Amino acid sequence: MWHTRRRALQRTLVPFAFLAPFLVLFAFFLITPLVYALRMALYNERLVGGTVFVGLSNLEQAVQDPSFYTGLEHMALLGVVQIPIMIGIALLFALLLDARAVWLPSLFRLGFFLPFAVPTVVAALMWGDLYAPSFGPLAQISRDLGLGTPGFLTSTWMLGSLGNIVTWEWTGYNMIILYAALKTIPPEIVEAAAVDGATPLQTALRIRIPFIAPALVLTVVFSIIGTLQLFNEPQIMSVIAPQVIGTSYTPNVYVYNLAFSSHEFNYAAAVSFVLGGFVFLSSYVFIFLTRKQR
Amino acid sequence: MTALTFLEQGFTRRNRRRSFATLFLLLFLIYFLLPLFWLIVSSTKSDPQLFSTFGLWFAHFNLVQNLREVFTYDGGIYLTWLGNTALYAISAGVGAALFATMAGYAFAKYRFRGRGVLFAVVLGSIMIPQTALVIPLYLLLSKVGIINTPFAVILPSLISPVGVFLMRVYAERAVPDALLDAARVDGAGEFRIFRSVSFRILVPGFATVLLLSFVATWNNYFLPLVVLSTPKYYPLTVGLAQWNSSSSAGGGANVLFSIVVAGSLVAVIPVAIAFLLLQRYWQGGLTAGGVK
């Protein structure tokens, strides 16, 4: 009796022992900063009077902040255009590689995935130099062809130029996730379709893509989260195009500058919470919309 | 028409289609490899040549001189950054993978109170903007006095919610309950079962999370940018970004552009090699995450 009760207690504690290292770190370095940030957002530092409780006023200000929305609009536009292109290409690659429709599939898998190994800082540095209007090779080629100097780093094209960097970095990663999902389709299903006379295109549209719909949703949600949080690329680009990027080109660039240039830590925390709200909202809306269709 | 010619026709049509698809992908391959080709070409050029020659082809071969400058500039600080990056990435990679494996295994193989809620919280944390965490982290770490130390980078990097998610899915599929029950009947304790039975099965997933966490820390920029202020603790990303700003500012006392380029190439190589060597793992291990 004693023995069994002790066993039972041990049984309940075992999973928590396995979870303990992760959960302790999670509590210290994720939950604590989050709670602290929330607290910060509710207070203000005043020169006279020190820390003052201001309730929701920082959050109210953040929700109405035009600088925040400038960045958010950039990211919304980038997301609506770039994510479908990137996931579309990644899906096409994954389908072609999975169907053995190309020669040298492992070369392509590795080559497309390689940019993921490149630090975003280095990726932004490289593309920044490729875009350069004076010595950049793309401009050199364009001038040789008599097409003039392209304005990759102008305010008109900057968003597209950033979108290109993001696409370059993440297409291969998404391709690998989708490819791995395609690999789990039982071969009998695809073979049966072929026996029934389905063309490869029909098989892809009616069987293979619907089968990996959950993985597709996952890649899009990760992309939405990543896009709304874009920081490294615009931060590095601001070195070569300071007038175009400015201090609020993306929400995270804005938050960073609020905190470390203006030292408005409390307001920065409030803005980052509002951003978090938008990230949650857009991911949730996307999951909801795709769930309804299925 | 005989069966043979019919087959032959089908075969050549299939080949033609395959060649066309290959050609199509080759165009994209050029796009994906072009910046890296540019990086290799550029790191062989001297500083003036970077601005005066065609960017996508070689000029006078100056690679050795560039590398020497990378590793000797400012008292050889680059080598310190490289060492820091390796230290941060290896310790965070191994730690994150181990803790994520244990946690994912617990979520997959045990029923306990609060399991669903806890897992939802862990997974939901992926959506928190990094600024929402790193800025308060900066203030908190300042209070406990580990700001501007290697711990400020390593400790937060030990958490991998995506890793927990991957390992849960992986453990659910790879570790059969019957095997665990058999080991229990044999009288093995839960931790011994994990160490000598389950972990062995989980190694491919572990290696995947290790690789992903290693790369994430090696490439991380935002966290070290905020929590470190002394250059001798910088990882490569922060150091290179600083060199880049200095070089873009121009003038005689600044870092040469050729050093930034060659330094960038050196920073990419270790991760690229890790990916080549561990191909089997990231290609197989990611299967788990792709299906859920």
Q: Name the β-bridge partners of A51.
A: A45
Contact state of B268 with A134 under an 8 Å Cβ cutoff: no
Which A residues in the span 138-197 are in contact with B, Cβ-Cβ below 8 Å? 140, 168, 171-172, 176-181, 183-184
Q: Which residues contact A198 (CB under 8 A, 6 or more apart)?
A: A206, A207
**pLDDT confidence band for B291 (50 / 70 / 90):** very low
Identity of the residue in B54, B140, B271 whose CB atom sits nearest the CB atom of A137: B54
Closest by Cα among A171, A23, A4 to A85:
A171
Output the pLDDT for position A292: 60
What pLDDT shows up at residue A9? 74
Distance from CA of A292 to the nearest CA of B (A): 18
pLDDT more than 90, % of chain A = 74
Of B118, B218, B282, the CB nearest to A119: B218
Contacts of A177 in chain B (CB under 8 A): 286, 289-290
Quick check: B128 and A276 CB within 8 A?
yes
Size of the A and B interface in Cβ pairs below 8 Å: 276
Which pLDDT does position A97 carry in this prediction? 93
Residue B48's pLDDT is what?
Answer: 87
pLDDT in tens, A189-215: 988 998 898 888 899 999 999 999 999
Angle between helical axes of A105-113 and A158-182 (0-180°, round to 10): 140
More confident residue, B8 or B202: B202
Phi/psi at A53 (nearest 5 deg)?
-75, 125
Q: Which residue type, as a one-letter code, is found at position A44?
A: N
pLDDT band per the 50, 70, 90 thresholds, residue B278 = confident
For residue B67, pLDDT over 50 is answered with: yes
Cα distance between residue B73 and residue B36, in whole Å: 24
Cβ atoms A118, A127 nearer than 8 A: no
Show residues of chain A in contact with B159, CB under 8 Å: 22, 25-26, 29-30
Which pair of tokens denotes residue B168? Answer: 């849960």
CATH superfamily of this structure's domain B71-176+205-291: MetI-like (1.10.3720.10)
Residue entry with tokens 């201001």: A54
B245 and chain A: CB distance < 8 Å anywhere?
yes
Whole-angstrom Cα distance, residue A231 to residue B152? Answer: 20
CA–CA separation, B183 vs A76, rounded Å?
53
* CA separation, residue A211 to residues A100, A193, A217 (Å): 18, 14, 12
Q: CB distance from B146 to chain A under 8 Å?
A: no
Give yes or no for residue B9 having a pLDDT over 90. no
Minimal Cα distance from B162: which residue of A? A222
Structural domains in chain A, CATH included, are 2-41 (no CATH), 61-121+160-293 (1.10.3720.10)
Chain A CA closest to residue B160:
A22
pLDDT band with cut points at 50, 70 and 90 for residue A2: low
Q: pLDDT of A119-131, one tens digit each? A: 999 999 999 999 9
Distance from CA of A156 to the nearest CA of B (A): 22
Above 60 in pLDDT, residue A134? yes
User: A22–B102: do the CB atoms touch at under 8 Å?
Assistant: yes
pLDDT band of B237, cuts 50, 70, 90: very high
What is the rounded average pLDDT of the residues A266-270?
A: 94
B274 to A117: CB separation less than 8 angstroms, yes or no: yes
Identify the CA nearest to B265 among candidates B53, B49, B66.
B66
Question: Which residue from B131, B159, B276 is facing A255, i.e. has the nearest CB?
Answer: B131
pLDDT, average across residues B180-189: 91
Q: Which of B33-37, B59-63, B84-88, B178-182 has the lowest mean pLDDT?
A: B59-63
In this prediction, residues A243-272 reach a mean pLDDT of: 94
Prediction pTM value: 0.91
Taking alpha carbons only, the member of B127, B287, B143 closest to residue B204 is B287
Read off the pLDDT of residues B141-173 as tens digits, 9 standing for 90 and up. Answer: 999 999 999 999 999 999 999 999 989 989 998
Contact B38 A134 (CB under 8 A): no
Task: Name chain A contacts of B100, Cβ cutoff 8 Å.
Answer: 22
pLDDT-based confidence at residue B64 (cuts at 50, 70, 90): very high
Tokens of A241: 């195009």
Q: How far is A246 from chain B (nearest CA, A)?
A: 15
Predicted local confidence at residue B290, as pLDDT = 40
Q: What percent of chain A stands above pLDDT 70?
A: 97
ipTM: 0.90
DSSP sequence for A118-171? S-HHHHHHHHHHHH-TTT-HHHHHHHHTT-----TTSTTTHHHHHHHHHHHHHH
Residue A43, SS3 per DSSP:
strand
Per-residue pLDDT tens digits for B106-145: 999 999 999 999 999 999 998 888 888 999 999 999 999 9
pLDDT band, residue B292 (cuts 50/70/90): very low
Please indicate if any CB of chain A lies within 8 Å of the CB of B83: no
pLDDT tens by residue, A70-119: 999 999 999 999 999 999 999 999 999 998 889 999 899 999 999 999 99
Can you tell me which residue has the tokens 């789990």? A184
User: Does the distance separating the beta carbons of A177 and B289 come in below 8 Å?
Assistant: yes
